[in-house]
Amino acid sequence: MHSKASGEYGGLKLLLVSNSTNAGEGYLEYCRQDIAGFLKKYGVSKALFFPFAAVTFSYDEYERKVLEKLLPLGVEVESIHHAHDAQRAVHDAQAIVVGGGNTFHLLKSIQGLQLTEAVRCKVHGGVPYVGWSAGSNLACPTICTTNDMPIVEPENFSAFNLIPFQINPHYLDANPAGHAGETREQRLQEYIAANPHRHVVGLREACMLTLTGGELKLHGKRPMRVFKAGQAPLELQPTDNLQFLLRS
């Protein structure tokens, strides 16, 4: 079974980051070395950036923010919103980088450009994919485990479906004092009750997943929490075997 999972996902090169910014740090400060190193490992000098999760600031500004962090490390980014032909831009891309923000706005924009299948085929063809927050949600089968408010309505919730499990970025264990609403875990328990076939990974901040050579790995100093209907949640460390998630 391990070889089957490795075979199906063996050509993928994914870096899926929970969050862009740790408390008290600058934008992408904790993960920019990981992002640049991951891309340069595969010979990427220029990546195609998807800025569509930005809502309260411009796509130009988003592109500048990411470029300022990655260009000094040897990786240029160019936003797809400049492209006259978005399909061609995906086809020609050395790598796909999808930034965080509002997941619903991101997906609606990608669907509007009819890029879902184009990106999926490109990544399955071996082009590296990097996403953080909403960009990690887009790597999943659906966006149904995002934390975001549905400020716009996409055609559907189907995402790039690069991995067979769901991610909940920014996963929090805390139940703030005085808060009488559902915790994050209770929300995810609702999801798995309605979708019993699917695993959900609660990916805590300052953590990331890589999928390369058919091997899924957790990176960071904190464990991730895995939910599946009918099973007690699991706390998994970076040293644990995660291959069962590829057989979801």
Cα gap 217→123, rounded to integer Å: 18
Q: What is the pLDDT of residue 1?
A: 40
Contact status, residue 138 vs residue 106, Cβ threshold 8 Å: yes
Q: What is the pLDDT of residue 248?
A: 67
Q: What is the pLDDT of residue 214?
A: 97
Q: What is the pLDDT of residue 148?
A: 97
Q: Average pLDDT of 124-149?
A: 98
Summary mean pLDDT of the chain: 95
Tokens of 70: 């990655």
Q: Largest Cα–Cα distance of the chain, in whole Å?
A: 51
Provide the annotated active-site residues. Answer: 133, 148, 170
H helices of the chain, in order, are: 2-9, 32-41, 59-70, 86-92, 103-112, 116-124, 134-137, 184-194
Q: What is the pLDDT of residue 5?
A: 60
The rounded percent of the chain whose pLDDT value lies above 70 is 96
The values of phi and psi at residue 184, to 5°, are: -60, -40
For the chain, give the number of residues: 248
Model confidence over 218-248: pLDDT tens digits? 999 999 999 999 999 999 999 999 999 999 6
Q: For residue 126, how many other CB atoms are within 10 A of its CB?
A: 11
Task: Tokens 């953590």: give the residue.
Answer: 207
Enclosing domain of residue 213:
2-173+181-247
pLDDT at 112 over 60: yes
Contact status, residue 77 vs residue 47, Cβ threshold 8 Å: yes
CA dihedral 128, 120, 101, 94 (to 10 degrees): 30
Q: What is the pLDDT of residue 159?
A: 98
Model confidence over 62-78: pLDDT tens digits? 999 999 999 999 999 99
DSSP lists the bridge partners of residue 50 as: 98
Model confidence over 153-211: pLDDT tens digits? 999 999 999 999 999 999 998 776 777 678 999 999 999 999 999 999 999 999 999 99
Q: Average pLDDT of 123-135?
A: 98
Domains identified in the chain, total number? 1
Query: The CATH number of the domain where 230 resides is what?
Result: 3.40.50.880
Cα gap 102→104, rounded to integer Å: 6
Q: Average pLDDT of 48-53?
A: 98
Query: Is residue 230 classed exposed, middle or buried when 0-12, 13-18 and 19+ CB atoms within 10 A define those classes?
Result: exposed
